[in-house]
């Protein structure tokens, strides 16, 4: 495709863009249980208008755009207060959970470089359930991830196992509130005690839980402390573009004090151009996400969030009970809020996800690990809370359909995969496997069951190469 010689009309441009969405899944109908957090029409409209109001402003230079400084400091202070930080706590807005986590890891690395220069090969201790963003940060920032197994009954890490993984190279401990995969909260208070005892930084990933769990606590739900009230917690990430229902591109990275946060900030006067001072990864930063977040926090207020959370929690409890009542399915662990996963001992859940997909539902497949069975993930948000009954009805019917179908032969696939791994040219063999799974070229696959089955059988290191090659082909 080339840039058109002559520009199109506004109508043509906008109609074409809308048409691009025809193959997208139906999030507006509340059938997608991840990726989108829909607060309802009125709050979404306020967010949209606020976003457009600040479409052009640039957060790069607060001296030119004091409005951006005001938006950021207001939003960060509101979230710090929600997470019960005191007046010493500080933070920044970032583009999302991944950037917030990257910055927490960079801050820990650079603080260690300054204060513990004997550490040449820094390590961070991560529960197996920690989000992949920590592995990405480790990869980008040359920090070694030390992975700690979880309890296979509760899906939480054990604090004593975290402590055992600490070495003289450890610079950071990590835990989740909650973890994405099973929606459970790690033992934050116990890990905080270890962090204090060992003089280590401790990051709590509350990307999904920061807003939702804090309001649940205020509403009287039983929520273990996971925020700045826990001694030893030194930084927290909380995404506003998830359960804060803000527009995409907005998360908050918070630190207990400026003494820690200073290692996050980068300044450069070493060029012929303007003075650059960047507290976060980006330099030029659009104002839309800041204004969108400011707007939704003010428009909903505490009462608005609590109304939303009540609806979401009721829907979640009904869904969990309904899924557990289907004999072939079982919810894993005791989810802390509105995210959970379910597995089956008798049917292939990837086939179930495909059958549900034919009815417009998106349930997310998660691979098995030695301590967790393969499962499907659900994040309930306000936009799909009204669909519980119809989802359960479709689930019951689809379970029966999967039972009546030819099952995927997992053993045969595992044998095929291990033969390919031992063959002379594993890459070519995987190319063929990918082709037979419909995972090639520049198009997207229609069904995922076979692909998930193959990927579940692959060792992580091989699977990662496989996926990198696929994306390398998929995009221009
Ligand atoms: C617990 C947790 N942390 C971090 C992230 C990464 O957030 P983002 O996708 O905004 O980069 C996610 C995303 O789902 C998450 O669930």
pLDDT tens-digit readout, 35-65: 999 999 999 999 999 999 999 999 999 999 9
Which residues lie below 8 Å from residue 133, measured CB to CB, with a gap of 6+? 97, 98, 101, 102
Give 173's strand partners: 125, 202
Last residue of a domain, one of 242, 275, 295: 295
Q: How far, in Å, are 112, 113, 122, 254, 275 from residue 119 at the CA level?
A: 7, 7, 6, 25, 32
Residue 13: phi and psi, rounded to 5, are -60, -50
Structure tokens of 182? 């099973």
* Torsion angle of C-alpha atoms 303, 306, 312, 314, degrees rounded to 10: -110
Contacts 24+ apart (CB under 8 A), 146-152: 146/170, 149/371, 150/371, 150/372, 152/371, 152/372
Residue 221 Cα to chain centre, angstroms: 23
Q: 125 alpha carbon to ligand 1 midpoint, in Å?
A: 18
Which of 180, 209, 211, 340 has most ligand 1 atoms within 8 Å of CB, for mutation? 180
Host domain of residue 445: 410-474
Residues in a beta bridge with 150: 157
Atom index in ligand 1 nearest the CA of residue 209 equals: 1
Count of C-beta atoms within a 10 Å radius of residue 441: 11
pTM of the full structure: 0.96
Q: Hey, what are 58's tokens?
A: 């640039």
* Stretch (H or E) spanning 255: strand 251-255
Residue with CA closest to ligand 1 atom 9: 97
The pLDDT of residue 440: 67
Residues 280 and 422 in one domain: no
What's the domain count of the chain?
2
What is the rounded average pLDDT of the residues 112-120?
97
- For residue 264, which of 119, 115, 92, 121 has the smallest C-alpha distance? 92
CB 375 within 8 A of CB 413: no
Whether 329 is covered by a domain: the verdict is: no
- Pick the range with the lowest mean pLDDT from 156-170, 364-378, 424-438: 424-438
What percentage of the chain exceeds 70 in pLDDT?
98
pLDDT of residue 441 exceeding 80: no
CB atoms within 10 A of CB 151: 15
- The reply to whether ligand 1 has any atom less than 6 angstroms from the CB of 207 is yes
d(CA 86, CA 263): 20
H-state helical runs in 423-459: 426-436, 449-457
User: What's the token pair of residue 417?
Assistant: 């995969």
Instruction: Establish whether residue 98 lines the binding site of ligand 1, counting it when its CB lies within 6 angstroms of any ligand atom.
Output: yes
Residue 330 has phi, psi (to 5 degrees) of -145, 135
Question: Domain for residue 375, yes or no?
Answer: no
| Whole-number Å distance between alpha carbons of 240 and 199 | 30
Taking only the tens place, the pLDDT of each residue in 282-322 is 999 999 999 999 999 999 999 999 999 999 999 999 999 99
Confirm whether 214 is domain-assigned: yes
Q: DSSP state, 384?
A: G
78 and 221 together in one domain: yes
**For the chain, how far is it from start to end, CA to CA, in angstroms?**
11
What pLDDT score does 443 carry? 67
Q: Are 338 and 385 in contact (CB under 8 A)?
A: no
Contacts of 277 (CB under 8 A, 6+ apart): 265, 266, 267, 268
Whether residue 427 has pLDDT greater than 80: no
- What is each CA distance from 134 to 69, 280, 303, 304, 459, in whole angstroms? 28, 17, 34, 32, 20
CA distance 150 to 344: 20
The answer, yes or no, to whether residue 433 has pLDDT greater than 80, is no
Give the domain CATH number at 148. Answer: 3.40.640.10
Predicted local distance difference test score (pLDDT) of residue 163: 98
Mutate to test the pocket of ligand 1, among 100, 135, 176, 239 (most ligand atoms within 8 A of CB): 239
- Does residue 69 form part of some domain? yes
Q: What is the pLDDT of residue 424?
A: 80
User: 108 CB contacts (<8 Å, ≥6 apart)?
Assistant: 122, 124, 143, 171, 172, 201, 203, 263
Q: How far apart are CA 404 and CA 409, in angstroms?
A: 15
Residue 455: name the closest of 402, 410, 406 by CA: 410
pLDDT (average), residues 72-95: 98
| Owner of token pair 């993984």 | 165
One-character DSSP codes across 194-241 = HHHHTT-EEEEE-TTTHHHHHHHHHTT------STTSTT--EEEEESS
Say whether pLDDT at 409 is over 90: no
Report the C-alpha gap between 212 and 28 in whole angstroms.
21
- The length of the chain in residues reads 476
Whether 438 has a pLDDT exceeding 70, the answer reads: no
The residues that bridge with 317 in the sheet, in sequence order, are: none
- Of the residues 295, 327, 360, the one at which a domain ends: 295
Question: Which residues make beta-bridge pairs with 174?
Answer: 203
12 lies in some domain: no
**Assigned domain for 32 exists:** no
pLDDT of residue 296: 98
Measure the CA–CA gap between 356 and 376, rounded to whole angstroms: 11
Substitution candidate for ligand 1 out of 207, 213, 235, 251 with most atoms within 8 A of CB: 207
**Residue 140, helix vs strand vs coil:** helix
133 shares a domain with 281: yes
253: helix, coil or strand?
Answer: strand
164 CA from centroid of ligand 1 (Å): 27
Last-in-domain residue among 264, 295, 326? 295
> Is the pLDDT at 342 greater than 90, yes or no?
yes
User: Do 66 and 215 fall within a single domain?
Assistant: yes
Contact 51, 44 (CB under 8 A): no
pLDDT of residue 442: 63
Rg of the chain, C-alpha, whole Å: 23
In a domain, 376, yes or no: no
- In the structure, what pLDDT confidence band is assigned to residue 412 with cuts at 50, 70 and 90? confident
Cβ of residue 353 lying under 6 Å from some atom of ligand 1: no
* Whether the CB of 96 sits within 6 Å of ligand 1: yes
The whole-chain average pLDDT of the chain stands at 95
- 3 state DSSP class of 378: strand
Residue 17 lies inside a defined structural domain of this protein: no
pLDDT tens-digit readout, 361-394? 999 999 999 999 999 999 999 999 999 999 999 9
Q: Does the beta carbon of 205 sit less than 6 angstroms from any atom of ligand 1?
A: yes
């Amino acid at each position: 495709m080339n840039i058109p010689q002559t520009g199109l009309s506004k109508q043509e441009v906008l109609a074409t863009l809308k048409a691009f969405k025809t193959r997208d899944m139906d999030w507006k109908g509340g059938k997608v249980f991840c990726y989108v957090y829909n607060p309802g029409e009125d709050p979404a409209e306020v967010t949209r208008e606020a976003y457009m109001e600040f479409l052009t402003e640039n957060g790069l230079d607060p001296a030119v755009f004091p409005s951006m400084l005001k938006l950021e400091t207001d939003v960060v202070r509101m979230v710090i207060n929600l997470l019960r930080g005191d007046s010493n706590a500080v933070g920044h807005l970032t583009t999302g959970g991944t950037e917030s986590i990257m910055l927490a890891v960079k801050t820990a690395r650079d603080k260690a470089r300054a204060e513990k220069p004997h550490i040449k090969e820094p390590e961070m201790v991560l529960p197996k359930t920690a989000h992949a963003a920590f592995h990405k940060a480790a990869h980008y920032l040359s920090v070694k991830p030390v992975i700690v197994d979880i309890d296979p009954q509760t899906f939480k890490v054990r604090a004593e196992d975290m402590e055992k993984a600490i070495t003289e190279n450890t610079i950071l401990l990590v835990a989740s509130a909650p973890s994405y995969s099973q929606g459970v909260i790690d033992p934050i208070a116990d890990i905080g005690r270890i962090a204090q005892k060992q003089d280590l930084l401790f990051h709590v990933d509350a990307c999904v839980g920061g807003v939702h769990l804090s309001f649940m606590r205020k509403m009287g739900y039983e929520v273990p402390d996971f925020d700045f009230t826990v001694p030893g917690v030194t930084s927290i990430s909380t995404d506003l573009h998830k359960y804060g229902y803000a527009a995409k591109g907005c998360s908050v990275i918070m630190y207990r004090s400026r003494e820690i946060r200073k290692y996050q900030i980068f300044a450069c006067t070493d060029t012929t151009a303007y003075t650059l001072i960047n507290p976060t990864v980006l330099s030029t930063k659009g104002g839309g996400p800041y204004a969108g977040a400011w707007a939704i926090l003010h428009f909903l207020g505490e009462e608005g969030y609590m109304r939303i959370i009540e609806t979401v929690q009721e829907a979640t409890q009904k869904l969990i009970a309904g899924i557990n009542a289907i004999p072939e399915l079982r919810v894993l662990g005791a989810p802390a809020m509105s995210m959970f996963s379910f597995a089956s001992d008798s049917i292939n859940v990837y086939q179930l996800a495909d059958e549900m997909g034919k009815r417009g539902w998106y349930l997310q497949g998660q691979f098995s690990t030695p301590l967790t069975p393969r499962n499907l993930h659900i994040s309930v948000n306000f936009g799909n809370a009204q669909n519980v009954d119809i989802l359960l009805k479709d689930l019951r019917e689809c379970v029966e359909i999967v039972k009546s179908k030819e099952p995927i032969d997992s053993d045969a696939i595992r044998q095929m995969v291990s033969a390919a791994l031992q063959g002379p040219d594993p890459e070519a063999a995987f190319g063929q496997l990918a082709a037979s799974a419909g995972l090639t070229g520049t198009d997207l696959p229609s069904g995922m069951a076979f692909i998930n089955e193959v990927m579940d059988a692959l060792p992580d290191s091989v699977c990662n190469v496989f996926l990198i090659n696929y994306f390398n082909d998929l995009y221009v």
